[in-house]
Amino acid sequence: MRRVVASSASTSPLLDVMNTVNKKNQQRLNDLIGINLQTDQQLVVHGRWTRCKVETMILVDVHARDVFDVMVKKKVWGCFDEFNRIDLEVISVVAQQVGVVFESIKADKKQLQFTDGQIINLNKEVGYFITMNPDYAGRQELPENLKSLFRGVTMMVPDRQIIMKVKLTGAGYRENAILGKKLNVLYKLCEEQLSKQPHYDLGLCNILAVLLTAGGSKRDDLTASEHMLLMRTLRDMNLSKFVAEDVPLFLSLIEDLFPSDGVDGAVVKCHLDREHEHRHGR
């Protein structure tokens, strides 16, 4: 990659390019603000654009320099968690901003001109880190210009059964060991046997949400069967997410893992039959 060294002359080609970029950034910000001032009905014409996305992009444009200003001045290390959950348009803006900082560090500069035209003092010990879950539904693929700025580090998969056991223990479940094992087996079987759908989430986010709800169910009824409480939570929080052909398989897995020795088998079977009939419109 060729390095462009800025001339001290005010008419340098680099300064002209930066001024052009700054004008484009300012125009984009003005356009976003104009869109956000429209009513919800008017925003429909923008298709997939929503007010939340627009406000996020405005926040990045307006607040980004403040964040980067503090980081590059104070040699702060910053970690941007779940970075690829951001919309692609916003990621592209951040990539441009991070690129300006890194290029200035490579050029051994003491100051840099940010994308909005402001001059910022630069401490070269600043560090940027991002975390991402590439296999989750709804995550964005990072643009190549951003990937080239970072070095990938692969992390090990956590032991989900230990996490489940600890969370159940904290929620007051006395049978936390066996229930944690059943929960782990259920999610593994679901990952292996259910169809692959882009909206399915069988990872830690879903598991922690189930465990949080299971804890609330336990507090609401301290005398109820813990097997029944967890089974109901798993069933109620996951059924609506599955496509029709996966519902019978999921229900049969629950029946296998939570047999009648832990719950009222007749009641569970009756409920599962009604769910199955409702799903198939019979």
Domain boundaries, the chain: 13-147, 160-279
User: pLDDT digits over 70-120, tens only?
Assistant: 777 777 788 878 777 777 767 777 777 788 888 888 888 888 777 667 787
Strand partners, 113: 119
E strand spans, 143-255:
none
* CA separation for the pair 61, 89 (Å, rounded): 11
Separation of alpha carbons 184 and 161, rounded Å: 5
Per-residue pLDDT at 181 exceeds 90: yes
The winner for highest mean pLDDT among 7-11, 65-69, 129-133 is 129-133
Does the global pTM surpass 0.75?
no
Question: Taking all residues of the chain, what is their mean pLDDT, rounded to a whole number?
Answer: 76
Q: What pLDDT band is residue 164 in, cutting at 50, 70 and 90?
A: very high
Give the tens place of pLDDT for each residue, 207-252: 999 999 999 999 998 888 999 999 999 988 888 888 888 888 998 8
**Looking at the predicted structure, is the pLDDT value of residue 40 above 60?**
yes
> So what's the architecture of 160-279 in CATH?
Orthogonal Bundle (1.10)
Q: What token pair was written down for 103?
A: 């290029």
Coil, helix or strand at residue 200: coil
Q: Residue 56's CB: how many other CB atoms inside 10 A?
A: 16
| Backbone φ, ψ for residue 173 (5° rounding) | -80, 120
Q: How confident is the model at residue 122 (pLDDT cuts 50, 70, 90)?
A: confident
Under CATH, what is the fold of the domain 13-147? Rossmann fold (3.40.50)
How many other CB atoms sit within 10 Å of the CB of residue 81? Answer: 9
Grade residue 121 by pLDDT with cuts at 50, 70 and 90: confident
Task: For residues 103 and 112, give the distance between their C-alpha atoms in angstroms, rounded to a whole number.
Answer: 9
Q: Around Cβ 195, how many Cβ atoms within 10 Å?
A: 10
- 159 CB burial (10 A radius; 0-12, 13-18, 19+): exposed
Distance CA 174, CA 65 (A): 51
